[in-house]
Structure 1
Amino acid sequence: MPETYSAPIPETWQFAWCPHGQCRTPAQARQLAYHPAHVPGTNIGDLLRLDLISDPFIGRQFRDAYWIEMKDFWYCCEIEIPADALSAADQAMLCFDGIDTIADIWLNGRKLAETRNMFQRHRLPAMDLLEAGANELMICLRPPGKSGLETARSWGVDLPALNAAFQTQERLVIRKMQMSYGWDNTPRILMSGIYRPVALTLQAGAALVDAAVRTEGIDPGHSGATLGFDVTASASDAIEQPQLHIRGEGQACHFEETVPLAFDCTGQAHAAIRVDDPQLWWPHTLGESHLYHTAIELLDGDDVIDRCERDVGIAQIRRCDSPITMEPVTYRVGSPKDGVPDLDGADNGPWSHVPLETPAPAPHQRVVFEVNGEPLPILGANWQPPDAVYSRVDDDQLKSLVTNAREAGLNMIRIWGGGYIEHPAFYEACSELGILVWQDFPFACGTFPQVDPFLDEVRTEAEDIVKQLRSYPCLAAWCGDNESDMIYHDRGIDPKQNRLNHEILPQAVERLDPGRYFHMSSPSGIDYPRSPWSGDNRNWGAWDPSGNYTHIRREEATFISEAGAYALPDMRTIEAHIPVADRWPLNSETWDLHNGDVDTFKRHFWGRNKPMWEAFSSCEDIDDAVEVSQFAQAWGAKVLVEHCRARWPETGGMLWWKLNDCWPCMDGGLYDYELRPRTIVKAMRAAAAPTLLCVGQPLNQDSLELRLINHSDEYITGTFALEVWQLGKNKPVDGTVLEAEVPPWQTSILGSIPLGQELDPETTVLRTAVYTTDAPVHTSLWTLAPRTAWRCYKETDWIRAIWNC
């Protein structure tokens, strides 16, 4: 193997700051006062570690850190290169896996490059600037806010004419994590940093640049599979007999093969091998998530040129083909312009059902995912970076969160477009633990510029993102953005005018990751973005229990990609971050800021939380509010999950907003910022049971249904009951008993009872019971009013027994 030298990169760097533009060269920056820094890391992370700023997550202290976004930050280190390593090399590459965001990179006093994209890796040829011995690397990180304004002027972009949620238009021209500018669940923290690893590699001759793997086909009956390898090499024309040697070691079998390569003029080649009797990769709700630890070697004849290793899963994940049908509908879904007297998740207008004068045809098409040919009901969660100061998140925390998702019964995580491309440890954990990933490209809630410099930048970014993630077996879908099509449509603009998600992003996926499902925007449907009958949808009905969850019981969406309800975090998390004087009542400015308000936009979420919680119980103090809010959230989630699962495959899946909070706040996370579980975790786990006997209350019907959800491979046969109980009595007052057999992967309505006047909503509890069965079946219960559910939770052990709490 030709010699490769990887120069050791120091863990401890130095950093300093100055007013924007004061130091334009390394010579000027050397005069600054420097402090120890950690790389990978961020400037806010370093300032916190040195106690140079207060914790921005306590109270309103994040405002005290606003000065940081106005400064230039210089980072520097020395990299030692032995003279013999330098003389032996004919190429050198300085590699940054992530720089946030606007940076000038200087090597030995000379500018090597400028970067302006947080999401892509930067591979910089550096051979001409290296010296034997000590090499000075200096990086100037420019203020992203000011840089956005400067960039807009240079491109001729009229920022005020662009639409951006929370009135932060400057974020639309800078390829930086969008939520950093302030969102309705995170403060404005415009940090900068070298947040992913740095490497300097010296190489003589050809080298392996990339080796992507995908499952190109699986035989019927799973008797064999074809794996494809897309290989990129530098100096490939110097390889006389190029070959690829592949060896994969699984739990009970392995594969090994050497195949010839034919590089094109760009240094790319494709190879394929067959694997007999493969152990397939499955999401954990369908089977084992088998991985092959695979070594990939680039050969010249018998000589090894370069090698890499990765875990390979053999799987094909697709959206099921289903026909588009035209069916009559009686309503349309509203937009912000609709002032109808109808609430859905406490939003007037958006997502409301606006009646049509006469029924009209609308296109219908299911959204159902399948893995290795097997349809899969999706129950998952959205994902924001686990910490708004993302440099504080480590690999163990990422794996712990993915493990939490699995233990809650979830099988998909959606990487939301307002965040960033997660660390490899996240995708490795999802692949290991059998969690599918829906990956938004990092665009959210805005009409992004359509000028050529921006489009060219996005094209390069998209190609690199696809290359980063395409080999992970957990990757189920790409999505163009979060809510941009919806914003275009709501403003009377054809969403196809957005060339990003209608041209550049799908082209990158088609070219570099063929066969992977691409979803145009979230939400998006065939005829308009909010269509519930095709594409994906939102439902915040768990946040609004009015009418005993009318907004859930009427839902007929084909896929719900965001659904949620807010709750307070654990009391210990509150005590660590909310000053005593601000903890009660909950309508203080501090709580407003920890519950959705940002300085540029007020969300007034307290006005939405208060009636939701009071539908269950009054809150006399902060301890009451924690318990009631978490129960209200959990109960709403239970209603929604059972509704969606009973509708499968008409509703292909539901993704809760969200898995965890990214700072201490009232939000929808199953886990709060300190990773303490809310009550919803146990409710979600119970509602996710593969076989579930539950109660449904169809809208506009005078009956209650006993439903058996059988999401397993087995027939379920037995005797089941729907029992009517009254709080305070020790036996059922009415009910029905039925014998039934339910086929695999179906929901059956076993029977019903009339919803008569004798059923007092204030005391009636509908409980399901299993008398006999040939397989485990989990039970559930239903009430006719939220306050009765709360009484049941406090006065009996029925709910606690089901939720195991």
Structure 2
Amino acid sequence: MKKPNLNLKRASVLTSTLLCSALLIAAPLRRELNEGWKFKQARLNNWYPATVPGVVHTDLMDNKIIEDPFFRLNERSMQWIDKEDWVYQTTFHLTPEMMERQNIELVFKGLDTYADVYLNEKKILEANNMFREWRVVIKPHLEAGENVLKIYFHSPIKVDIPKCDALPYQYEASNDQSENGGVFNKKVSVFARKAGYHYGWDWGPRLVTSGIWRPVYVEAWDDARLNDVFIRQQEVNKNCATILGEIEILADKEIEKANISITEASSGRVLAGQSVSLKKGMNKMSLPFSIRNPKLWWSNGLGEQYLYDFRTDLTIDNRTADTQTKKVGLRSLKIINQPDKDGKTFYVELNGVPVFAKGANYIPQDNFLPRVTREQYEKTILDAANVHMNMLRIWGGGIYEEDVFYELCDRYGILVWQDFMFACSLYPAEGELLENIRQEAIDNVKRLRNHACIALWCGNNECNDAWFNWGWQKRYKKQNPEYEQIIWKQFNDQYNVTLPQVVKEYAPESFYWPSSPFARYDGGSDDHNGDRHYWEVWHGKKPIEMYNKERSRFFSEYGFQSFPEFESVKRYAPCEEDWNIYSEVMMSHQRGGAHANELIETYLLNEYRKPRDFEAFLYMNHVLQGDAIKTAIEAHRRDMPYCMGTLFWQHNDCWPVASWASRDYYGRWKAQHYFTRKAYRDILVSPIADESGILKVQVVSDRLKSCGGKLEVSVIKLTGEVLNQYNRNVKIDANSSRTLFSIPLEEALNGARKEDVFVHAVLSTDKGKNDYANNYFLVKQKEVNYPHVMITKSIQPIEDGFEVTLNSDNFARAVFIATGDANSSFSDNYFDILPGSSVKVEVYTDLPQNVLEKQLKIVSLSDEY
């Protein structure tokens, strides 16, 4: 054992034994540099306090130099910020303990984006990629006392415009709002390795940030440290998990003998270990081990999300030099993309079981990323898990998410479809930029590969379809065939060579998919191979019922727009003059332009009657969106196993806006999210009348075991009279979609008009413990003869809120309850109340009962005409 450092021993509070002191000396020391920061505009002299991690926009807001860019029209006046250079600076002292270490490094988890880093006036780093981590040796540049760390952020616009101007052609970047940024048609986003949505999208503002957006810290160590640990799952089944611990150790000298071990932390059982000699520099080694009868990790709804704690220890001279613990779920996960009689399949096979993917597409939760809290991450992932989602697709125009995102997905069983960060654009992927992209991919594949939730890596969002189906290839060929060849080579090198090579090398068991959507390398997507983005309903203006006819092996995108609810709108558009969907403020918070608002209005008036005012319009738009996506989800699930996935666009917003999101920026659930919870349950009961005049009820089960149940199908007048009722004892096969009831519609109607009735189907399973119910209408909502309804309420206190019981005399459609702008959540909302029946809803709120009694708003569809 090395002699302990006596100065350190005296300074330490952990000096009870020589061993404790030695262990403290051996372990790497880390100190986050998150205090004492200030910033300024580079060409001016005034310094202001700064928050790190952060971005310049939030620092400007905190110092009251700018107002909230999300409020009313403020975004417009913020476009000067990205044309300026910005300087961040702090001073720091390192303790004697850290200064005495042989190696001291400065680690940046994320710099946004073009950043020159100076330590004591010495330039030590030129960063140029928001998505990479940067580690710099700083011991030679440190002072014994105060050290000055300065970061100069270059304007990404000023850096990249010359690159744009130097080319004889432009790179396509369909969502870059360059005109809003005052740079005309110079779509420079493709030149920066930076989140594409910062430059604007059809649901987001143009707010191009700079800053220290992830933590920065100093790390000090002696002899050697663990650089990376990969718990590589070579083969996993219920009998045995065969694992290879692939370990990287960085040593500052030759070390004759070191010990490396992997331990299951919960039991203390050493799974693998060996003695090794280390050369100076990077050392790579493998420790094979196996676990008998492993506890498997399952996606949400299929089983437990068991996570093992694997601790890796590096020991030198009987001292622990470094240790890392990884939480790992053991599972066999494959993407099955194989020819069959219809084309090529595309589905997840988890632990040998085909899994129907139920989920949504996810975008960053804010334009100003560092202000998204752990609590917001937890709510966002729980809001997916609690509506029975089992997959989120991290879309390629945002970021490789924070570690906490994947940790929560591991914990709650949410599979992650992980795009690389490229979307709806073409990129000059050659030379230095292509190498930068390769390093970015390595950084993020290595960072994320231990997470059980990672289902696949995808090259980009829609770039393949844009080239083959949107006319991009033809445009370049017409302009100059040489340009087409240059850009296609860059495209091919990026998505078909570089990125798959990184995945193969650093996560060999992972699946790589070149683009989303994708069917083949020499053409665009289709409805019988791979995945599909279906936008004919919405962008293509086709009617909502087309969702019942369109097919795909895997719907990885589709969606329908809505505005936020009225209470959310009032937060960013508080003036009455704003309360029109075509007002200047509402249009500024609708990035699809007047065309999108016209689509909402056209679809709404085609499906529903005219709303009575602006607030009613917002409510009915929510019901419209919910009904549309419910129709799609049910159709996709009925089409199992031809279709094996449905991910709607989108789960969340990055600012308050009209969008396709099912939850608004403030986290409020729209009707779509409540409808999704029922449509994504483990069993779906789905009535539908086909074109031949047959009323069918199809039952879809995701359960891994068959079960029995009682199916009751009723045709009921909206005023309560039961016209026909059918009861069947049914058997529901595991992982299946079957028609379990059918009857001629005319017979079921018993002479009644379609406009006066609804179909109510309910399946009772598990000896009556679980009911799966669904209401179905035979005509469009505007043709349904909804009677006037009288809804009465009673309120009883419960823990953390109240139970509200609502009774209705007639059928009440899409009953919406709200508590004003109070922070409340609801066990259900936008629900139907059957004639003469009641619904109990739990309202979780801080409001006292007397205030809730006055403030509780209750509306149904017939009230809003």
Question: Which residue of the other structure, out of 70, 80, 85, is the alignment partner of 1:57?
Answer: 70
Q: CA deviation at 1:779?
A: 1.6
Query: Shift of the alpha carbon at 1:640?
Result: 1.2
Deviates more, 1:488-497 or 1:409-418: 488-497
Distance in 1 between the 2:752 and 2:538 partners? Answer: 25
Q: Is the aligned partner of 1:16 residue 2:16?
A: no
Q: Decide whether the 8 Å contact of 2:329 with 2:451 is kept in 1.
A: yes
In 2, distance between residues paired with 1:544 and 1:429? 34
Contact 2:164/2:170 (CA < 8 Å) preserved in 1? no
State whether structure 2 residue 431 is matched by structure 1 residue 437: no
| 1:177 corresponds to which of 185, 189, 195 | 195
Shift of 1:284: 1.9
Deviation per CA, 1:107-145, whole angstroms, max 9, x where unpaired?
100111111100111111222212211110000111111
Asked if the contact 2:251–2:282 (Cα under 8 Å) also holds between the matched residues in 1, the reply is no
Q: SS state of the match for residue 629, structure 1? A: helix
Alignment of 1:530-609 (within 5 A): 530-540=525-535, 543=538, 549-597=544-592, 602=593, 604-609=595-600
Equivalent of 2:388, from 369, 390, 409?
Answer: 409
Alignment of 1:663-702 (within 5 A): 663-698=655-690, 700-702=691-693
CA distance in structure 2 between the aligned counterparts of 1:258 and 1:236, rounded to whole angstroms: 22
Match of 1:90 among 102, 120, 133: 102
- 1:504 CA displacement: 0.9
**For residues 302 and 709 of structure 1, do their structure 2 counterparts lie closer, same or farther at Cα, with a shift above 3 Å needed?**
same
Per the TM alignment, residue 279 of structure 1 is displaced from its structure 2 partner at its CA by: 1.4
Counterpart of 1:796? 811
- Distance (Å, rounded) in 2 between the aligned partners of 1:159 and 1:400: 44
Which whole-Å deviations, capped at 9, do the CAs of 1:487-506 have from their partners, x for residues lacking one? 11132639774321111111
Alignment of 1:761-772 (within 5 A): 761-770=754-763
Which one-letter code corresponds to 2:832 in the other structure? R
1:783 partnered with 2:773: no
Q: For 1:461-540, list aligned pairs within 5 A.
A: 461-490=440-469, 491=471, 493=473, 497-526=491-520, 528-540=523-535
Give, in whole Å, the separation in 2 of the partners of 1:262 and 1:529.
52
**Which AA in structure 2 matches 1:195?**
W
Per-residue CA distance 1:756-783 (angstroms, 9 max, x = gap): 5967443332221347874634021211
Q: Distance in 2 between matches of 1:372 and 1:263?
A: 38
Unaligned runs of 5+ in 1: 20-30, 328-363
Moved more, 652-661 or 490-499: 490-499
Matched letter for residue 710 of structure 1:
S
Structure 2: which 5+ residue stretches go unaligned? 1-22, 179-186, 474-483, 790-809, 814-830, 842-865
User: For the structure 1 residues 548 and 106, does the alpha-carbon distance in structure 2 shift closer, same or farther, using more than 3 Å as the test?
Assistant: closer
Distance 2:619 2:227 in 1: 53
Q: What residue number does 1:257 align with? A: 272
Distance 1:254 1:752, change over 3 A: farther
Contact 2:337 2:530 in 1 (8 A): no
Of residues 584, 604, 608, the one that matches 1:613 is 604
Amino acid of the structure 1 residue aligned with 2:422: F
> How far apart in 1 are the matches of 2:160 and 2:330?
43
Residue matched to 2:707? 716
Call closer, same or farther: CA 1:709–1:578 in 2, change over 3 Å. Answer: same
* 1:275 and 2:291 aligned: yes
Aligned length: 745
Q: Which amino acid aligns with 1:511?
A: E
Residues 212 and 548 from structure 1, CA distance in 2 versus in 1: closer, same or farther, beyond 3 angstroms? Answer: same
TM-score by length of 2: 0.81
Give the Cα–Cα distance (whole angstroms) in 1 for the partners of residues 60 and 263 of structure 2: 46
2:89 to 76, 80, 86: 76
Equivalent residue, structure 2, for 1:25: none
Letter in 2 for 1:230: E
User: Which has the higher relative contact order, 1 or 2, with Cα contacts under 8 A spaced 6 or more apart?
Assistant: 1
Contact 1:261 1:271 in 2 (8 A): no
Q: Which SS does the other structure have where 2:595 is aligned?
A: coil
For the residues of structure 2 that align with 1:152 and 1:12, how far apart are their CA atoms? 38
Distance 2:543 2:170 in 1: 42
Distance 2:762 2:91 in 1: 69
- For 1:430, the aligned partner's letter is C
**Matches of 1:17 and 1:546 in 2, distance apart?**
47
Preserved CA contact (<8 Å) 1:592 1:604: no
Equivalent pair of 1:447/1:487 in contact (CA under 8 Å): no
Identity %: 26
Matched residue SS, 1:721:
strand
Task: Indicate how the Cα distance of structure 1 residues 604 and 90 shifts in structure 2: closer, same or farther if over 3 A, else same.
Answer: same
Q: Which residue of 2 aligns with 1:165?
A: 175
Question: Aligned partners of 2:591 and 2:334: how far apart in 1?
Answer: 36
Answer yes or no: is the 8 Å Cα contact 1:312–1:471 preserved in 2: yes
Q: Which has the larger radius of gyration?
A: 2
Letter in 2 for 1:711: D
Residues 682 and 108 of structure 1: CA distance in aligned 2, closer, same or farther (over 3 Å): same
Q: Normalised by the size of structure 1, how large is the TM-score?
A: 0.87
Name which of 240, 255, 277 aligns with 2:256: 240
What does the per-residue CA deviation read over 1:283-329, in whole Å, with 9 as the maximum and x for residues that have no partner?
A: 1211111112232112336432211122121122211253344x5xx
User: Which one-letter code corresponds to 1:628 in the other structure?
Assistant: M
What RMSD in Å do the two structures reach over aligned CA positions? 2.7
Q: Is the 8 A contact 1:236 1:267 kept in 2?
A: no
Going from structure 1 to structure 2, the CA distance change for 1:574 and 1:120 (only over 3 Å counts) comes to: same
Aligned equivalent of 2:241: 225
Give 1:351's aligned residue.
Answer: none
Residue identity opposite 1:36 in structure 2: P
**Amino acid corresponding to residue 638 of structure 1 in structure 2:** K
CA pair 732-237 structure 1, distance change in 2 beyond 3 A: farther
Q: Would the aligned equivalents of 1:548 and 1:786 in 2 still touch at CA under 8 Å?
A: no
Q: Secondary structure at the match of 2:560?
A: coil
- CA deviation vs aligned residue, 1:521-570 (integer Å, no higher than 9, x gap): 01111363321111111234665998873320112101111121112212
The aligned runs of 1:753-768 (5 Å cut-off) are 753-756=743-746, 760-768=753-761
SS of 1:208's partner is strand
Contact 1:184 1:603 in 2 (8 A): no
Are the aligned partners of 2:198 and 2:207 in contact in 1 as well (CA < 8 Å)? yes
CA change 1:542–1:214 in 2 (3 A) is farther
Q: Report the counterpart of residue 654 of structure 1 in structure 2.
A: 646
Assess if the C-alpha contact under 8 Å between 1:735 and 1:753 holds in 2.
no
The aligned amino acid for 1:552 is: Y
Q: Aligned to 1:41, what secondary structure does the other structure show? A: coil
Q: Distance in 1 between matches of 2:722 and 2:585?
A: 47
**Who is 1:341 aligned against?**
none
CA contact (8 A) 1:45 1:391 kept: no
Name the amino acid aligned to 1:231.
I
Residues 719, 773 of structure 1: 8 Å contact kept: no
Partner of 2:367: 388
> 1:83 Cα shift?
5.1
Distance in 1 (CA, whole Å) between partners of 2:467 and 2:840 is 45
Deviations 1:597-625 (A, max 9, x none): 4xxxx462111111222222312222101
For the 8 Å contact 1:583–1:622, the answer to whether it is kept is no
Query: What is the Cα deviation at residue 152 of structure 1?
Result: 4.1
* Equivalent in the alignment of 1:354: none
With over 3 angstroms needed to count, the CA separation of the structure-2 counterparts of 1:146 and 1:733, relative to structure 1, is same
2:34 and 2:53 in contact (8 A); partners too: no
User: What is the aligned partner in structure 2 of residue 33 from structure 1?
Assistant: 46
Aligned pair partner of 1:207 in 191, 205, 225:
225
* Structure 1 residues 666 and 547: alpha-carbon distance in aligned structure 2, compared to 1, 3 A threshold: closer
Residue equivalent to 2:731: 741
Q: Tell me, in whole angstroms, the C-alpha distance in 2 between the residues paired with 1:777 and 1:51.
A: 54
